[in-house]
Amino acid sequence: MANSKTHHVIAYGSAIVDVLAEVEDAFLLTHNIAKGVMTLIDEHRAAQLYGAFGRPKEVAGGSAANTMAGLASLGARGCFVGKTKADRLGEAFFASMKDTGVDYATPASGDGPQTACCLIAVTPDGERSMNTYLGAARELGTGDVTEAAIAAAQVLYIEGYLWDAPKAKAASLKAIDIARASGTKVAFTLSDPFLMGRYRDEFLALLPKLDILFANEEEAKALFAADDFDSVLQAVRPLNAIAALTRSEKGCVAAKGGEVHVVDAVPVARVVDTTGAGDQFAAGFLYGLTHGFDLARCGRLGSLAAAEVISHVGARPVTPLKQLAASAGLL
Amino acid sequence: MANSKTHHVIAYGSAIVDVLAEVEDAFLLTHNIAKGVMTLIDEHRAAQLYGAFGRPKEVAGGSAANTMAGLASLGARGCFVGKTKADRLGEAFFASMKDTGVDYATPASGDGPQTACCLIAVTPDGERSMNTYLGAARELGTGDVTEAAIAAAQVLYIEGYLWDAPKAKAASLKAIDIARASGTKVAFTLSDPFLMGRYRDEFLALLPKLDILFANEEEAKALFAADDFDSVLQAVRPLNAIAALTRSEKGCVAAKGGEVHVVDAVPVARVVDTTGAGDQFAAGFLYGLTHGFDLARCGRLGSLAAAEVISHVGARPVTPLKQLAASAGLL
């Protein structure tokens, strides 16, 4: 791609701080937390749970932001766009993005809802019950969309989660149109099977604008109303886009037109916490695409990044991915 | 296919009687039996082990013969070609093929080596240690190849195991040429990864003559000197043949030219004995192909047949596959 591309990927996503507490199962009952799933909550409930969490651990999260952290860990140049408020959690998010080396300059809002947080109750069995207050992340707007930054990236990456916030969705659609006019490829992740219930038709209508579609098997089945994986594969093949389909322990399938690659998962000694597996897969895959790798190698790099993140607690890499990928002969 | 095709499949394979005994692990040590693998043995050793087996159970086996039993269980019309001797085990093999409804008329030899047997020592952990005496099965010759029978079938199916017997290999090559001249499709199974060590170049040279290639992942990796499954997939796609690649719990991939299908394994409550999984997969797949099913449905039917056979001891279906397939909506 052209010299004018100073960044590999620019991502639009929710700027969320993960707030983690280790709790007993009884805590979930007392506080009416649905175990093992992600629930959207309001500000009142967020404040209530935050109080109950005692002395929680706070780390920057958010799906696309996690992906950008993974890309940075691989050595790519990335830029993140997502909304915080100028409050304590917002500052924490800014600091963490700076630590990863990702460019991040979306102005924090001075008023309105607080910085988004995901209150995660970790039970002794390792399950994570997530309560997400989207807050300021919903306030990302078309005014935050900078044409120059999109044009300067090889790929624009957008998380489907943003469709839950009307303003952020409008900003995403504007960004997509700019990307298409700027020679920037458009990548999109379906994010969560539940989103298909709310936005299936919108996502289907979006497909012709995409260059890369990320989806796990459940999300893709929901999007294409397919009963099995092969039906998904047959549905994506006529698309003009690369489909990068993740299948947990079954690995991934990457397809574009005549090309189909079936790539195994990278084995891990013990799966500790699957949070962020899809985010890191996208990081590895996008690194490969923006560095001229073929689809099979993109899939292998995605699988390697996912394997790293599921082998420990937390949604961002602990071991530098660049080092891991080099050892595996993928760089 | 034409009205002249009275049979769906004609198979060339080793006519083997499985001789099973339940033994303790110490028995393997005493009798120097390699655990969990298949070892070729001579007549002397076969007689010795047979004596040591006490009162074994005898059931007709043989890879391609098992496939034909599966096809019959699905309701297909099949014909089997394989050599026995006119001895007690030979008669048992004939009787069992008759029971399955498969046409079988290869004349038993009056002299020479005894009917082939596979002496299977089953240890308490469920492992099967196989000792195969090929005997009369090796004597299948070009004189046993009947042009009319091959021309009367939609598909000729040949097991790679026959390459271990020079006469049977010659008969197979003759059958393949007749099939190609008679509008009969040629299907071949690689049978065992170890065969690649002995016949890799011959099998590679055979590929252009095949319409359908069956292989499990290990066999296919050995054939194409591939490190991973995706490299196998890329290697088979330029072939003119349908490749039906089985991957144990990862399901199967069926590919031909532009078409690629990734089909999941059919889940089983408990894997009891994997013997015959590949044979029954081939049965289901060939049933589909000879009944006009698309490749995905062929793969699903193969997976269903394999799931049935691994859920119990023994290499042939216990539940009628036709009934199972109908319940699963595949017929």
What pLDDT shows up at residue B202?
A: 98
Domain borders along chain A are 7-14+63-104+139-327
**Radius of gyration over every alpha carbon of chain A, rounded to an integer in angstroms:** 19
Helix (H) / strand (E) element for A262: namely strand A259-263
Question: Cα distance from A226 to chain B (closest Cα, Å)?
Answer: 13
What pLDDT shows up at residue A313?
A: 84
What pLDDT shows up at residue A38?
A: 83
Question: Cα distance from B228 to chain A (closest Cα, Å)?
Answer: 8
Which among A229, A251, A258 is the nearest to B264, CB-wise?
A: A229
Cβ contacts of A327 within 8 Å, gap of 6 or more:
none
Q: Contact B230/A258, CB-based, under 8 Å?
A: no
Distances (CA, A) of B122 to B58, B119, B191: 13, 10, 21
Q: Contact A261/B299, CB-based, under 8 Å?
A: no
Residue B20, classed as helix, strand or coil, is: strand
pLDDT-based confidence at A124, cuts 50/70/90?
Answer: confident
**What is the model's pTM?**
0.88
Query: Best residue in A227, A230, A256 to probe B by mutation, most B CBs within 10 Å?
Result: A230
Nearest C-alpha in B relative to A258? B258
What pLDDT shows up at residue A76?
A: 98
Handedness of CA A30, A32, A34, A40 (dihedral sign): negative
Does the structure show a pLDDT above 70 at A3? no
Nearest C-alpha in B relative to A235? B261
What pLDDT shows up at residue A1?
A: 47
Residue A159, classed as helix, strand or coil, is: strand
Distance CA B308, CA B320 (A): 9
Question: Cα distance from B263 to chain A (closest Cα, Å)?
Answer: 6
What pLDDT shows up at residue A285?
A: 98
What pLDDT shows up at residue A37?
A: 82
**HSE-up (13 A, CA, CB side) for residue A56:** 20
What fold, for B7-15+62-113+136-327?
UDP-N-acetylmuramoyl-L-alanine:D-glutamate ligase (3.40.1190)
Q: Please list the residues that pair with A58 across neighbouring strands.
A: A19
What pLDDT shows up at residue B1?
A: 47
Cβ contacts of B126 within 8 Å, gap of 6 or more:
B272, B273
Nearest to B289 by CA among B212, B193, B175: B212
Q: Could you tell me what percent of chain A has a pLDDT over 90?
A: 89
What pLDDT shows up at residue B36?
A: 85
> Which amino acid does the sequence have at A331?
L
Dihedral angle of Cα B101, B106, B110, B115, to the nearest 10 degrees: -60
Give the other-Cβ count within 10 Å of B267's Cβ.
Answer: 8
Does the structure show a pLDDT above 80 at A140? yes
Per-residue pLDDT of chain B (331 residues; tens, 9 = 90+): 445 899 999 999 999 999 999 999 999 999 999 998 889 999 999 999 999 999 899 989 999 999 999 999 999 999 999 999 999 999 999 999 999 999 999 999 999 999 999 999 988 887 889 999 999 999 999 999 999 999 999 999 999 999 999 999 999 999 999 999 999 999 999 999 989 999 999 999 999 999 999 999 999 999 999 999 999 999 999 999 999 999 999 999 999 988 999 999 999 999 888 889 999 999 999 999 999 999 999 999 999 999 999 999 889 999 999 999 999 999 9
Residues in B closer than 8 angstroms to A234, CB to CB, are: 261, 296
Nearest to A148 by CA among A110, A109, A103: A103
The arithmetic mean of pLDDT across residues A41-49, rounded, is 94
- State how beta strands A103-104 and B16-22 pair: unpaired
Q: Contact A230/B299, CB-based, under 8 Å?
A: yes
Q: Contact A261/B230, CB-based, under 8 Å?
A: yes
Q: Contact B296/A263, CB-based, under 8 Å?
A: no
CATH 3.10.20.30 fits A7-14+63-104+139-327, yes or no: no
Residues in A closer than 8 angstroms to B262, CB to CB, are: 229-230, 233, 253, 262
The arithmetic mean of pLDDT across residues A114-118, rounded, is 96
A to B CB pairs, distance under 8 Å: 43
Residue A304, classed as helix, strand or coil, is: helix
Instruction: Locate A176 and state its tokens.
Output: 């997509």
Nearest C-alpha in B relative to A261? B230
Q: What is the ipTM of this complex?
A: 0.82
Handedness of CA B200, B206, B207, B213 (dihedral sign): negative
Helix (H) / strand (E) element for B304: namely helix B295-310
Distance CA A17, CA A46 (A): 12
Instruction: Locate A146 and state its tokens.
Output: 């900078």
With beta carbons less than 8 A apart as the criterion, state whether A14 and A113 touch: no
